């Protein structure tokens, strides 16, 4: 919840994960690496107990998706809607209906659903409300959706197919926070451009720019989905100590430490900037409605953005004048996961077969 991760969490040098009194710089670095590796692999004291609980839940779960959770009278439903976006959390976008019921780290899953054309879905979670970060990208979600395929939804029980629509704002929109900004520029197609400047925290990330026009440049699963989240070693230790990042793997984030990465290499060129595009797609998906895409038609340009600034942009976008127009098809040719109401059987490569380097 808001305030869980204090701004000063990374400054703790006397105790906890950052204790380094009496250690040389080399000994401190070795200790931090080992602590971080253990954290990301779930090798803490409660890991075995949590794993046993999850196995028991999985073994007792109903086989039918329609039956899953049907006996749970305490079910809380949280719409993936911009109106529920919280803007005061450092780690990710958070959707909440009240102080006790919310979902965090949902942007990677929502990004995959938006990119492959899903606007009508029910996502069921157990536990803390944290969507597992898995490998830190959106690729696993896109892959699993491709395995089962998509079908067109029909309005009001009819069999008639309804064209998928999207928003097209008619004027420029800009939100700022210091020198950071997110801007919408009217255009005939969707284009997403993101600038990253991380030099104040790590020169390993440094400055990066990436731009992607979905209908022209290539598929989401090839160019965007595989890009992993990133941050500094201090960031991720603070997140873990606050109780987050419990569903990840050792390589689930690109961890920067000064002028180098703890766990290279990059999977994609400008992977950090591409991941910010991935996040932006997920956050913009909160503008979607049944039968509608969330990402608007036009050019969305962001620089040094954050989920907090994305939430501010969503509010401005919701209030701006716009019209509904036919949505774009983001999948291309024989790689299309969903096209014209028919499911293509060609699959993305399995996650563990994806090339690295």
The token duo for 330 is 């983001």
Residue 43 CB: number of other CB atoms within 10 A?
13
Reported for 168-173, long-range contacts at CB under 8 A and 24+ positions apart, including other chains, are 168/296, 168/297, 168/298, 168/322, 168/323, 168/324, 168/325, 169/296, 169/298, 169/317, 169/320, 169/321, 169/322, 170/320, 170/321, 170/322, 170/323, 171/320, 171/321, 173/313, 173/316, 173/317, 173/320
83: CB partners within 8 A, 6+ apart: 318
What is the distance between the alpha carbons of residues 143 and 225, in angstroms, rounded to a whole number? 10
Annotated catalytic residues are 307
* Distance separating the N- and C-terminal Cα atoms of the chain: 36
Distance of CA 141 to the CA centre of its chain: 10
Residue 111 CB: number of other CB atoms within 10 A?
29
CA distances from 175 to 71, 86, 221, 250, 303 (A): 44, 16, 29, 35, 11
């Amino acid at each position: 919840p808001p305030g869980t991760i204090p701004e000063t969490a990374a400054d703790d040098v006397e105790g906890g994960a950052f204790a380094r009194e009496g250690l040389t710089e080399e000994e401190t670095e070795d200790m931090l690496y080992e602590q971080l590796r253990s954290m990301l692999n779930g090798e803490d004291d409660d890991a075995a107990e949590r794993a046993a609980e999850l196995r028991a839940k999985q073994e007792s779960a109903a086989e039918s998706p329609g039956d899953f959770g049907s006996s749970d009278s305490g079910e809380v439903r949280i719409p993936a809607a911009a109106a529920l976006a919280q803007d005061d959390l450092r780690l990710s976008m958070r959707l909440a209906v009240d102080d006790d019921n919310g979902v965090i780290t949902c942007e990677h899953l929502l990004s995959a659903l938006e990119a492959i054309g899903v606007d009508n879905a029910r996502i069921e979670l157990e536990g803390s409300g944290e969507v597992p970060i898995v490998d830190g990208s959106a690729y696993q979600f896109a892959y699993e959706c491709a395995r089962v395929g998509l079908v067109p939804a029909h309005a009001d029980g009819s069999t008639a197919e309804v064209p998928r629509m999207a928003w097209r704002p008619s004027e420029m929109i800009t939100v700022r926070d210091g020198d950071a900004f997110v801007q919408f520029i009217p255009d005939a197609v969707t284009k997403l451009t993101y600038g990253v400047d991380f030099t104040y925290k790590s020169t390993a990330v440094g400055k990066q720019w990436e731009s992607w026009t979905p209908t022209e440049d290539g598929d989401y699963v090839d160019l965007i989905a595989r890009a992993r989240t990133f941050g500094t070693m201090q960031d991720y230790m603070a997140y873990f100590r606050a109780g987050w990042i419990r569903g990840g793997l050792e390589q689930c984030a690109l961890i920067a430490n000064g002028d180098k990465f703890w766990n290279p290499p990059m999977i994609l060129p400008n992977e950090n900037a591409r991941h910010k595009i991935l996040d932006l797609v997920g956050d913009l998906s909160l503008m979607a409605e049944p039968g509608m895409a969330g990402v608007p038609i036009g050019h969305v340009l962001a620089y040094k953005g954050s989920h907090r600034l994305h939430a501010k942009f969503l509010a401005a976008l919701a209030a701006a004048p716009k019209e509904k127009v036919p949505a774009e098809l983001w999948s291309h040719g024989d790689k299309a996961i969903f096209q014209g109401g028919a499911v293509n059987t060609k699959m993305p490569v399995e996650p563990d077969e994806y090339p690295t380097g």
